[in-house]
Amino acid sequence: MFLIREIKKEDINKICEIMLAFPDFYPEFYVNSTKRGGIKWLLKYAVQSKDKYDVKSYVMKKDGQIIGHIAYLKDICCFQGGIYDIRALAVDANEIGSGYGKILLNHIKNELKKIKARMLFLQTDKESYKFYLRQGYILEHIIKNYWGKDSDRYILKLQIHGAD
């Protein structure tokens, strides 16, 4: 059995450990950065945030251990509002293929439905983007060689509210 709850300060190091198991996707400089935009910054900000619609971060626990994490941010550049970006999704390497990533995505989709969010965006790599397509996301754009030669960035979106 598993449990999903909001992040706590004591979860940060375990979340970073899970992400660092995927160095091609979550490089150490990005995960350990406490500067705006880095993962540690995001996680600390999520714990301290007073505006609960600005950033949210959740952990998934199984048998008392953190096995997954997902975080999203409100897109503050969108003048119409209701746009959010997934900034991190990670599942423990031993749990890949278990369906926990899908469960975490559905959890935040349901949370965003409650506040009538309009759209959810994410960025990923070639290996992962098909997973998101299976979850209902639409490929919006590909930026060639973003992370270096033959390493493209895939931008996907999911319509949440307003498409009904």
What confidence tens digit (pLDDT) does each residue in 75-119 have? 866 657 789 999 899 999 999 999 999 999 999 999 999 988 999
Which of 156, 95, 97, 96 is closest to 126 using CA atoms? 156
Whether 164 has a pLDDT exceeding 50, the answer reads no
Domain positions in the chain are 2-159
- pLDDT, residue 48, reads 87
For the whole model, what pTM was predicted?
0.90
Cα 26 to Cα 90: distance, rounded to the nearest angstrom = 9
Tally of CB atoms within 10 A around 48: 9
Mapping DSSP to helix (H, G, I), strand (E, B) and coil, where does residue 37 land? coil
- CATH class of the domain comprising 2-159: alpha beta
Predicted confidence (pLDDT) per residue in 128-155, tens digit? 999 999 999 999 999 998 877 888 899 9
Whether 163 has a pLDDT exceeding 60, the answer reads no
